[in-house]
Amino acid sequence: MTLTETNPPAEALAAGGDLKPPAQAAMASDDLSPATRASVPQWTPPSGLARILSSGDHLTVGQMYVAFSLLLSGLALALGVLIGIEQADIDGGFGVFGDANEFFQVFALYRTTLILCGLVPLFLGLATAVIPRQLAASSVAFPRAAAAAFWTWLVGAITHIAATFSYGGLGSLQAGAAREQSVELTVLSLGMMGLGLLVGSGVVLTTLVTQRPPGMDLLQMPAFSWSMLVAAGVWLFSLPVLLANLVISWADMRGADALGFGGGAAPFEQVAWAFDAPQVYAWTIPMLGIVAEVFTAAHRSRPQMFEPMALIVGVFGFLSFGAWAQRFFDSDDPSAADAHIVTNQVVFTAFGLAIALAVLAYGGWLAFNGASAGRRPQITPEFALVTVSGALLTTAVATGVVRVAEPALGVLREADGDIWRGFFDAMDDLEGSSLLTGMMNLAVLGGLLAAVGGLHHWAPRLVGRPLNAALGFLSVLPLAGGAVLIGLTDVLSGFFDQPARPYETSRIADIDSVGFVEALNVIGLIGSIAVLAGLALVVLNVARGLGQPAEAEAGQGGGG
Amino acid sequence: MADVSVGMPLAAPLPRQRTLLVGTVLGTAASLMYFAALLGVYLRERADALSGSGEWIPSGADIQLAQPTVAAWTMLMSVVTMQWAVYSIARNDRPHALMATALTALFGLSVVVMTSFQYTEMGLVADESVAAVLIYTISGSHLAMIAVGLVFLLLMAFRALAGQYSSRQTDGFVAASIYWYAVVFVYVVIWTAIFVLK
């Protein structure tokens, strides 16, 4: 027996097992008698909780990301239900929440939880588990860093939620010393989450750059790997800006009185760009890769014209980088000649229009691949999920076009403002309306559906066996139907001037038709409950898969 | 049995995985983005203040240019020593590589000391003006960046002592140098944007 053979395998090392000291390893050589060799304590991998807590195995880390992000997505959707109940009687004062401040805090928590505790880590989990296999690598580039990133994110996420419910939140509409400390903790924990996601993105990106086998260039990677390359790149440049915003807020809060960055609702306002266009699209970039892989697998074909698709995903990623669009730093007086208003900038409008073209081009690529396959797609839960997710993203960017159209049509206003006055007034009103919430919900829920589709697609790899198809189909209807209801009702309400921030009671009086908007909100509430129920079915399906013995994964789960 | 490989061309060597180097470049890029955001906020707020009240640095504060300039030169000198370390390790000259690394770390520590001294001298109260909040946030973040750089240098030095780096494998030192150059670059930008412009 050689020394090499006595050492635990690399994956076992990554799993955090107890290693023999070198001296003991050296003793286990051929020089020793069988009796002596038998007396040498052998390496045993940790089991149970110790295995999970100490693991640097990419599959285990990926599974933990997926499990916790699904649970936290459920929490976010539950918050969405509470917001929906509150909005069902929008002009009747505060019912579920005690006051505007509590509403504001849950409103902010819904966004941070849905995106930074749910969607992004879900994609990172899929990437951490799947990408090494797609690249024929034994692990991710920095396994320990991947594990550290996961635990940093998880501790940050739990602390963030706990701090918000402890009279914290991303700022406050009320002042008070005790409350401010909780706000500080909320800000710090959000920074901790951001740091974890940043390191996780860096690990995925490094893996994609360095762990490819010889001969495989970047454009030969599977579509999901390519989309994660683009996504992790955009996240790597976005998340530091989010951290910078949070650090400024926190530093300001350390003083006796916050001076502008940490006082009032400023902490949320500073990071609000992360939940609005164009950045909200950046969180969904990996869905383009998942859709491509599931779509071609359902047609039992290989992707045709991969390079154009890669270019489209790259352009989508570039256009979705939104850290520059920080409305917190807009001029106080929008009517001033030199006023700086982000949403009036040419680049904001141009990016909003161009990203719609990118999504259209992507749809064209899918249609071309469907036609090239020459056969009907195999209808699976993942195919249904990614189809709906694609439709949701398309609707989201179309909504974004409506939103940016007003500045784009400024030429018409200059030419003859009287003729188009009604139209322009309506477009003006859309800024700050619930249309923005609808756009965010459509994009993020689209991403969530695609991620669940990816879970089905790669389940043999992730949980050791395919997920139950019947349960999968059962979850598609509430997930897809609910997401459509949530998104579209918010968009429609926006046209009736429902504010994007419903806790701002001063704007409730501006709603055109309160009764109709409340009816839409009830429909949206039903959608929230449906998505929550659908997600519960997904969690049940995954738990059921994990609880059963693994099957051989050969031939199961496409996509590399 | 005859060796079947006789007469066959040698296989091309597998490309070396430069994982640490790539990871460091990505981490450095993220750090630069972080400071770009901080400085963007600083310059925007400064421009607003100057076009409004006309005052940015509070009148009671006295921000001298001397210490930041000395610190900037110290940082620039550390570029030379850092490159000396990379040059030496690439030529298997481990003693000089370690000495150059130690000198680089010493320069970094000197900047920490100088910045701390400047904090005590400039009379800028942290919670009395937006400028103070931003200056302490940016310079404090840079101190943290230096601290990370020092830990990185220390780790590379220990690994070099253990014989892990030589002319055949210089990635660790090159990675540390890339990060350190970013530390220096950020300080030069801070020196210009904060201390020269004031």
Task: Tell me which residue of B115, B29, B47, B55 sits closest to A340, measured CA to CA.
Answer: B47
Residue B6 lies inside a defined structural domain of this protein: no
Q: Which of A210, A237, A247 shows the shortest C-beta gap to B141?
A: A247
Mean pLDDT of B39-57: 89
pLDDT tens, residue by residue, A483-493: 999 999 999 99
More confident residue, B145 or B59: B145
pLDDT at A21 over 50: no
What is the domain range of residue B184? 20-44+65-196
Model pLDDT, residue A422:
65
User: pLDDT grade, residue B59 (50/70/90)?
Assistant: confident
CB contact under 8 A, B136 and A251: yes
Report yes or no: A365 and A310 within 8 Å, Cβ to Cβ.
no
pTM of the model: 0.89
Question: At residue A428, does pLDDT exceed 80?
Answer: no
Q: b vs e for B105-136, b when ≥16 Cβ sit within 10 Å of the residue's Cβ?
A: bebbebbeebbeebbeebebebbbbbbbbbbb
B70 touches chain A (CB under 8 A): no
Could you give the CA distance from residue B150 to residue A69 in angstroms, rounded to a whole number? Answer: 35
CA dist list (Å): B15 to A212, A216, A490, B93, B171: 10, 12, 53, 25, 14
Which one of A145, A236, A241 has the shortest CB-CB distance to B29?
A236
* Contact between B137 and A248 using a beta-carbon 8 Å cutoff: yes
Select from A138, A180, A199, A248 the residue whose CB has the most chain B CBs within 10 Å, as the one to mutate to test that interface.
Answer: A248
What pLDDT is stored for residue A16 in this prediction? Answer: 44
* φ/ψ (deg, to 5) at A159: -65, -40
Residue A346 has pLDDT above 60, yes or no: yes
Which pLDDT tens digit goes with each residue over A194-224?
999 999 999 999 999 999 998 899 999 999 9
Answer yes or no: is pLDDT of A4 > 60: no
Task: State the angle between helix axes of A58-88 and A514-546 in degrees (0 to 180), rounded to the nearest 10.
Answer: 160
Contacts of residues A212-217 at CB distance under 8 Å and 24 or more positions apart, as own/partner, are A212/A135, A212/A137, A213/A135, A213/A136, A213/A137, A214/B14, A214/B15, A216/A135
Query: What number of helices (H) and strands (E) belong to chain B?
Result: 5, 0
Residue B82, domain member (yes or no): yes
A255 and B34 within 8 Å at the Cβ level: the answer is: no
**What are the strands, taking DSSP E only, across B84-139?**
none
> Is A241–B34 a contact, with Cβ atoms under 8 angstroms apart?
yes
Who among A210, A241, A252 is closest to B37 (CB)?
A241
pLDDT digits (tens, 9 = 90+) for A221-267: 999 999 999 999 999 999 999 999 999 999 998 877 777 888 888 89
pLDDT at A554 over 50: no
Given a contact cutoff of 8 angstroms between Cβ atoms, the answer to whether A389 and A447 are in contact is yes
The pLDDT tens digits for A106-156 are 999 999 999 999 999 999 999 999 999 999 999 999 999 999 999 999 999
What is the count of structural domains for chain B? 1
What average pLDDT does the segment A278-293 reach?
97
pLDDT tens, A404-420? 876 666 656 666 656 66
Q: Does a structural domain hold residue B56? A: no
Q: For residue A418, what pLDDT is reported?
A: 65
Judge whether A105 and A170 are in contact, CB under 8 Å. Answer: yes
Q: What is the CATH number of the domain that holds B157?
A: 1.20.120.80
pLDDT in tens, A518-530: 999 999 999 999 9
List chain A residues with CB under 8 Å of B130. Answer: 259-261
| C-beta separation of A468 from A544 below 8 A | yes
Q: What is the pLDDT of residue A137?
A: 92
Structural domain includes residue B13: no
- List, in order of start, the domains of chain A with CATH numbers: 61-546 (1.20.210.10)
Distance CA A193, CA A164 (A): 14
Domain annotation covers residue B10 = no
Instruction: Tell me the per-residue pLDDT of A25-82, one tens digit each, with 9 for 90 and over.
Output: 444 445 567 777 777 777 777 877 888 788 889 999 999 999 999 999 999 999 999 9
The interface predicted TM-score of the complex, written ipTM, equals 0.91
CA A324 to chain B, closest CA, distance in angstroms equals: 9
